[in-house]
């Protein structure tokens, strides 16, 4: 891939920020030191190590190169939302029943206060000091990393274990673990970042209908097939739809999207047919299984090819309004179907997957209902405001032996998280925590839609997926890296103000990262 030459700032401070962004984008998804044993803990340790090294390097860089010319941006409103979020979770930690869990998180999740502090430090460093020309490089590196993880995931799906990651799992316990990220939910979260980046780059920068960028986008899209997560399918679909709603969309743009859909349909059908011959780690799930049916996938493939021929034989015509109208009609139709499924008592069986009950979405309905009842009925006004402390959902869902047994009866194992990041913030951080998190996401989306729409689509895809999943240290920090790269204020501030702001930020987070060592 070719990059336009951009003169990068040579100040060590800017190099530290660029190195931190690249280290996290490469290291967190690929780091797999001991198979799936302690995978989340190892990625969490890697994150803390990178942040600590970056903070120390910034201090040294300021001392060594204090007279050099450096790029320092303005701190944006998103940083204020994150500071508010950290403050809310810090107060909740002080009042939590299990302060250790609220601080460090569960051993298998690590979604504690320390993770938020580290991610906020990453956002501050990359926002303040990263080079403007690093954005396309980080995007392409993330796509390359996602392609490598997808390769390992496909090999795992076909019972090939090149990294010897499954040696600690019994055959029936390791079927949902793919690649170097973890289970299918975490791998789906990574795809929701990589697929919009690859598709957006292919639609806007690709010179040929079937070229290098096409194959990268198709390869990453194909990862959705072994993943089989409905949330990742939904997140990627919405993100690509938003990209197609751009005012630059023409009929030839839709032909490019059609080429991806045709290739993905072929991959799904071929995978299903090969699964009848070769041994696979698990059966195709949900959307992947439906698309892999020869009747469905073959019909979709032929229909898309006909539309592509029709569009490519004519000059390109603007069609953004038609795409937006079609997307609106589909969205309204889905809302009506969901309403019909939940209001129509004896509706047809096709609407059953949309009916919200205890078993909805692999028993997420039970967890969501119980957490909502606990938040609205069993908490004080103070707890409703600041929450119960980070990673406190497990003690809410499993307060006694009977609750744990019932959850195991429903799901086969007990839930230790809400499997919904927004509901998780509401219970753990209260109304203020949820408000700060939504405010941060809204600020980043608004800014990125104006400056980096492809990054906006990637962040939106992750948001949709996170509504049905939970964060983990191997993917969650990448959101903060991409969000920081959407900063538009590239002009350096006055030297005096820049020193004051960066010095205050450094002292704040250096002090915050010492919180875990308090008695």
Give residue 469's domain range: 12-249+318-362+408-517
Question: Looking at the domain assignment, is residue 313 inside a domain?
Answer: no
143-201 per-position pLDDT tens digit: 999 999 999 999 999 999 998 888 766 555 677 888 999 889 999 999 999 999 999 99
In a domain, 278, yes or no: no
Q: Please check the confidence at residue 514 and state whether its pLDDT lies above 70.
A: no
Report the run of H or E that residue 321 belongs to, with start and end.
helix 320-343
pLDDT tens digits along 404-453: 677 666 666 677 888 999 999 999 999 999 999 999 999 999 988 888 89
Dihedral over alpha carbons 205, 27, 509, 10 (to 10 degrees): -60
Q: Are 73 and 489 in contact (CB under 8 A)?
A: yes
Residue 266: inside a domain: no
Q: Phi/psi of residue 250, each to 5°?
A: -125, 180
Tally Cβ neighbours within 10 Å of residue 8: 14
pTM metric for this prediction: 0.90
Is 311 part of a structural domain of the chain?
no
Question: What gap in Å lies between CA 354 and CA 167, rounded to an integer?
Answer: 38
| Confidence band of 67 (pLDDT split at 50, 70, 90) | low
Per-residue pLDDT of 208-219, as tens digits, reads 777 889 999 999
Question: Per the domain annotation, does 269 fall within a domain?
Answer: no
Read off the pLDDT of each residue in 385-398 and give the average, rounded to a whole number. 90
**Residue 147: what pLDDT?**
97
Which pair of structure tokens corresponds to residue 80? Answer: 């204020």
**Residue 229 token pair:** 């997560």
Hey, what are 94's tokens?
């002080």
Element (H, E) at 148: helix 134-157
In a domain, 232, yes or no: yes
Contacts of 405 (CB under 8 A, 6+ apart): none
pLDDT above 50: residue 362: yes
Tell me how many domains the chain contains. Answer: 1
């Amino acid at each position: 891939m070719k990059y336009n030459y951009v003169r990068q700032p040579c100040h060590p401070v800017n190099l530290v920020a660029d190195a931190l962004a690249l280290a996290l984008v490469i290291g967190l998804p690929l780091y797999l030191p001991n198979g799936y044993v302690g995978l989340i803990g190892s990625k969490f340790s890697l994150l803390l190590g990178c942040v600590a090294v970056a903070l120390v390097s910034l201090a040294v860089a300021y001392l060594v190169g204090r007279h050099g010319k450096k790029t320092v941006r303005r701190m944006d409103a998103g940083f204020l939302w994150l500071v508010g979020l950290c403050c809310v979770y810090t107060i909740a930690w002080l009042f939590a029943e299990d302060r250790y869990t609220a601080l460090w998180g569960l051993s298998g999740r690590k979604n504690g206060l320390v993770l938020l502090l580290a991610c906020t430090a990453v956002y501050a460093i990359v926002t303040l000091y990263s080079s403007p020309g690093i954005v396309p490089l980080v995007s392409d590196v993330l796509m390359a990393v996602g392609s490598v993880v997808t390769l390992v995931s496909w090999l795992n799906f076909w019972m090939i274990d090149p990294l010897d990651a499954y040696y600690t799992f019994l055959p029936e316990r390791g079927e949902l673990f793919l690649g170097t990220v973890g289970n299918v939910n975490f791998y789906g979260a990574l795809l929701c970042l990589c697929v919009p980046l690859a598709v957006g780059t292919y639609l806007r920068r690709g010179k040929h209908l079937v070229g290098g960028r096409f194959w990268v986008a198709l390869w990453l899209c194909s990862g959705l097939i072994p993943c089989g997560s409905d949330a990742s399918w939904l997140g990627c679909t919405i993100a690509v739809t938003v990209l197609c709603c751009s005012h630059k969309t023409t009929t030839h743009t839709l032909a490019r999207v059609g080429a991806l859909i045709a290739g993905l349909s072929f991959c799904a059908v071929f995978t299903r047919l090969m699964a009848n011959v070769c041994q696979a780690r698990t059966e195709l799930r949900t959307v992947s299984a439906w698309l892999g049916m020869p009747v469905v996938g073959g019909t979709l493939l032929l229909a898309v090819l006909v539309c592509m021929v029709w569009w490519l034989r004519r000059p390109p015509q603007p069609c953004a309004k038609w795409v937006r109208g079609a997307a609106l009609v589909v969205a309204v139709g889905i809302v009506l179907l969901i309403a019909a499924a939940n209001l129509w008592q004896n509706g047809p069986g096709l609407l059953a997957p949309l009916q919200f009950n205890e078993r909805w979405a692999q028993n997420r309905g039970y967890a969501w209902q119980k957490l909502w009842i606990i938040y609205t009925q069993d908490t004080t006004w103070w707890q409703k405001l600041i929450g119960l402390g980070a990673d406190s959902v497990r003690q809410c869902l499993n307060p006694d032996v009977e609750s744990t047994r019932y959850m195991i009866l429903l799901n086969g194992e007990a839930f230790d998280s809400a499997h919904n990041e927004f509901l998780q913030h509401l219970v753990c951080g209260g109304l203020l925590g949820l408000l700060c998190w939504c405010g941060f996401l809204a600020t980043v989306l608004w800014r990125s839609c104006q400056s980096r729409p492809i990054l906006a689509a990637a962040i939106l895809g992750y948001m949709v997926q996170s509504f049905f999943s939970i964060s983990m240290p191997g993917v969650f920090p990448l959101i903060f890296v991409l969000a920081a790269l959407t900063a538009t204020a590239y002009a350096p501030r006055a030297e005096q103000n820049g020193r004051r702001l960066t010095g205050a930020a450094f002292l704040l987070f250096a002090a915050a990262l010492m919180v875990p060592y308090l008695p």
